[in-house]
Copies of this chain bind each other. A is one copy, B any other.
């Protein structure tokens, strides 16, 4: 039931792990590139602000988990490219093996449902159907990605697992919301 991503004695934060992981999967990147990579991969369930990415990267360098190389460019702004070190790879592995810090708690939506009797019934109904809409568009989005990659594309297995998780979640939410919607209407 923990919320804060906590640095358990030498461990990584989830954001650090995400960045190291993307460096491991996709090779050396700039902060800007990592931001793009995040948005098109783990962005559905882990989307740090870009300033946070720029804050984390130098930290990784000073703790020896990554190296920075300055790249001078003529036509574009100069950039810093970060590369995973063996120590970084080890730290990432430790993080991957460690039990996940709690998620699923902190759900302001449910707080509104729980307290729904204090507001107008219409307000609750609006929240519920908005939730259903969100879940449906999440589902559509994930299905579109599935379609774009073929099922069983190589190198996509673990990513597809997260999409399937998202789909199961979305379907659970739409099912719940439809039922509640009907009840509130009656």
> Which residues of A does B touch, CB under 8 Å?
1, 5, 14, 17-18, 21, 24-25, 41-42, 44-47, 92-93, 96-97, 99-101, 103-120, 123-124, 127, 130, 157-159, 161-162, 164-165, 168-169, 171-173, 175-176, 179-180
Chain multiplicity (copies): 2
A96 to B148, alpha carbons, bound, how many Å?
39
Asked if A112 contacts B96 (CB within 8 A), the reply is yes
Residues on B with C-beta less than 8 A from A44 are 105, 110
Bound Cα distance from A108 to B165, whole angstroms: 13
Q: Which of B96, B169, B175 contacts A119 (CB 8 A)?
A: B96
How near does chain B come to A80, taking the closest CB pair, in angstroms?
Answer: 23
Nearest chain B CB to A125 CB, angstrom units: 12
Kindly state the separation between the CA atoms of A7 and B25 in the bound complex, as whole angstroms.
37
Contact partner of A165 among B99, B164, B176, CB < 8 A?
B176
Residues in chain B near residue A120, CB distance under 8 A: 97
Residue in B24, B101, B118, B173 whose beta carbon sits within 8 Å of that of A108 in the complex? B101
